């Protein structure tokens, strides 16, 4: 009871102050009521929080350790979206469920696509994966049976230069939703981008120190295509760009042959996928386990990858240790 009345008093006092100090038009966003913002998944939500700061209250639809590829919105998500002033999505087919959810919520506000303006990658990298042709073909066949529209790799946040484009898109989305916050958002975005640039340089330095021949790993699904291009690590994966399709037995067998032939240094499970298949491949190839990578979702608060920046620090430390053989 004491807590409740104190909070009530605090809110009232704040409201009075802003009534006196602020022009009428700016009241809503300066009276301590943050702008309600929705982001489709945890990594994007963290980026929006960094740009929005105290002026926004960000809800993630797909939370920590959640898999956005196979997400099924609940009635609670419909309500969250209906209350939002602006919605941020990754785009490139990552959130196949978003249009239907927007319809269910009768949401009429802006949907900001964070990947707008990036150089989108095709679903496989001929040059990076070299001898991976069999696995890649198997994946293409699986896609053809399913849908044929997933031509681009959605995991663009795995390159920190793209992360900076996300920040630019988030910035303009927030300014449109809350023009009074423009100066704050711009300052936050600039400070955050400086951190992303510094981290990008750190990743390149860390991984650049590992001999190129050792920079070959396996992980559960094809989430690291942009990471591979940006930072010069080859990733093999039994599952394609989306986790919604099971790999064929033929595809897995050909991946196992390839892993044995090439000198893959380590094998990683992911926080969002079932580790069974990758562990089976580990047993059959005797590639040593390198740990757990965070691909499409952050860890819970207090975990090793609770922010976008910490996700990179964690993943790179794991990759470097495993590839260096230490
Ligand atoms: Zn993914």
pLDDT at 124: 59
Residues 33-68 pLDDT 10s: 999 999 999 999 999 999 999 999 999 999 999 999
The alpha carbon of 179 and the centre of ligand 1 are apart by a number of angstroms equal to: 34
3-state secondary structure of 238: coil
Task: Give strand pairing partners of 87.
Answer: 38, 111
Nearest CA among 237, 284, 287 for reference residue 264: 287
Strand order in the sheet with 111-113: 56-62, 35-41, 86-89, 111-113
C-alpha torsion sign, points 127, 129, 134, 140 = negative
pLDDT at 30: 52
pLDDT at 31: 57
Mean pLDDT is highest, among 85-89, 144-148, 287-291, for 85-89
pLDDT at 284: 92
The alpha carbon of 223 and the centre of ligand 1 are apart by a number of angstroms equal to: 5
The alpha carbon of 155 and the centre of ligand 1 are apart by a number of angstroms equal to: 6
- Give the single-character DSSP code of 159: S
Q: What integer is the mean pLDDT of 310-315? A: 98
CA–CA gap between residue 156 and residue 96 (Å, rounded): 16
13-197 and 200-324 in the same fold = yes
CA–CA gap between residue 187 and residue 168 (Å, rounded): 12
> To the nearest whole percent, how much of the chain has pLDDT over 70?
82
The architecture that CATH gives domain 200-324 is 3-Layer(aba) Sandwich (3.40)
Cα–Cα distance list, 243 to 52, 71, 130, 164, 224 (Å): 31, 11, 23, 26, 13
Largest Cα–Cα distance of the chain, in whole Å? 73
Is residue 258 predicted with pLDDT exceeding 80?
yes
Residues 10-21 pLDDT 10s: 333 333 333 334
The alpha carbon of 207 and the centre of ligand 1 are apart by a number of angstroms equal to: 22
Residues 200-232 pLDDT 10s: 999 999 999 999 999 999 999 999 999 999 999
The alpha carbon of 83 and the centre of ligand 1 are apart by a number of angstroms equal to: 27
Tokens representing 31 are 């009276």
CA–CA gap between residue 272 and residue 267 (Å, rounded): 15
The alpha carbon of 64 and the centre of ligand 1 are apart by a number of angstroms equal to: 14
The alpha carbon of 97 and the centre of ligand 1 are apart by a number of angstroms equal to: 14
**Considering only 90-94, 150-154, 286-290, 297-301, which range has the smallest mean pLDDT?**
150-154
Q: Where does the pLDDT of residue 326 fall: very low under 50, low under 70, confident under 90, or very high at 90 and above? A: low
Between 138 and 70, name the one with better pLDDT: 70
The alpha carbon of 31 and the centre of ligand 1 are apart by a number of angstroms equal to: 39
Strand 111-113 versus strand 86-89 pairing type: parallel
Is residue 235 predicted with pLDDT exceeding 70?
yes
**Considering only 44-58, 166-180, 249-263, 293-307, which range has the smallest mean pLDDT?**
249-263
The alpha carbon of 125 and the centre of ligand 1 are apart by a number of angstroms equal to: 16
The alpha carbon of 209 and the centre of ligand 1 are apart by a number of angstroms equal to: 27
pLDDT at 241: 84
Q: What is the CATH number of domain 13-197?
A: 3.40.50.1980
3-state secondary structure of 189: helix
Between 302 and 8, name the one with better pLDDT: 302
Tokens representing 156 are 């663009």
Is residue 104 predicted with pLDDT exceeding 50?
yes
Between 250 and 55, name the one with better pLDDT: 55
Task: Give strand pairing partners of 293.
Answer: 270
The DSSP result for 267-300, as a single string, is EEEESSS-SHHHHHHHHHH-PPEEEEE--SSPPP
- Contact yes or no for 65/86 (Cβ under 8 A): no
The alpha carbon of 12 and the centre of ligand 1 are apart by a number of angstroms equal to: 45
Is residue 248 predicted with pLDDT exceeding 80?
yes
CA–CA gap between residue 42 and residue 57 (Å, rounded): 14
The mean predicted confidence, pLDDT, of the chain is 85
The alpha carbon of 183 and the centre of ligand 1 are apart by a number of angstroms equal to: 34
Between 244 and 167, name the one with better pLDDT: 167
Between 150 and 64, name the one with better pLDDT: 64
In the numeric block, the tokens 């240094």 are attached to: 265
**Considering only 12-16, 120-124, 235-239, which range has the smallest mean pLDDT?**
12-16
The alpha carbon of 55 and the centre of ligand 1 are apart by a number of angstroms equal to: 30
Tokens representing 61 are 């639809």
The alpha carbon of 241 and the centre of ligand 1 are apart by a number of angstroms equal to: 6
Cα–Cα distance list, 52 to 83, 114, 178, 237, 302 (Å): 17, 15, 10, 35, 21
Q: Write down the domain spans for the chain.
A: 13-197, 200-324
Tokens representing 241 are 């760009």
- Contact yes or no for 166/44 (Cβ under 8 A): yes
Is residue 143 predicted with pLDDT exceeding 90?
no
The alpha carbon of 65 and the centre of ligand 1 are apart by a number of angstroms equal to: 12
The alpha carbon of 222 and the centre of ligand 1 are apart by a number of angstroms equal to: 7
Is residue 269 predicted with pLDDT exceeding 60?
yes
């Amino acid at each position: 009871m004491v807590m409740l009345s104190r909070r009530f008093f605090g809110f009232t006092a704040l409201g009075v102050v802003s009534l006196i100090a602020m022009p009428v038009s700016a009241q809503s966003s300066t009276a301590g009521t943050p702008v309600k913002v929705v982001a489709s998944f945890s990594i994007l939500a963290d980026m929006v929080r960094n740009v929005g700061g105290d002026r926004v209250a960000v809800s993630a639809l797909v939370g920590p350790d959640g898999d956005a590829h196979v997400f099924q919105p609940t009635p609670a998500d419909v309500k969250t979206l209906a209350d939002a002033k602006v919605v941020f999505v990754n785009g490139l087919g990552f959130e196949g469920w978003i249009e239907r959810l927007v319809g269910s919520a009768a949401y009429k506000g802006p949907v900001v696509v964070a990947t707008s303006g990036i150089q989108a990658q095709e679903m496989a990298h001929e040059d990076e994966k070299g001898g991976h042709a069999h696995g890649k073909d198997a994946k293409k066949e699986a896609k053809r049976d399913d849908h044929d529209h997933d031509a681009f790799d959605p995991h663009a946040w795995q390159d920190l230069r793209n992360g900076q484009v996300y920040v630019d898109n988030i910035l303009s989305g927030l300014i449109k939703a809350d023009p009074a916050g423009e100066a704050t958002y711009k300052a936050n975005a600039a400070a955050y981008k400086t951190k992303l640039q510094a981290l990008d340089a750190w990743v390149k330095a860390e991984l650049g120190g590992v001999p190129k021949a050792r920079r070959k790993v396996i992980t559960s699904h094809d989430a690291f295509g942009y990471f591979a291009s940006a930072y010069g690590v080859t990733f093999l994966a039994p599952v394609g760009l989306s986790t919604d399709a099971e790999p064929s037995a033929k595809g897995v067998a050909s991946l196992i042959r390839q892993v044995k032939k090439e000198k893959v240094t380590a094998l990683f499970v992911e926080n969002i996928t079932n580790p069974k298949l990758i562990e089976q491949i580990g047993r059959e190839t005797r590639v040593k386990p390198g740990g757990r990578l965070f691909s499409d979702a952050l860890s819970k608060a207090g975990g090793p990858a609770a922010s976008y920046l910490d996700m990179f620090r964690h993943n790179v430390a794991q990759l470097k240790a495993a590839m260096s053989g230490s």
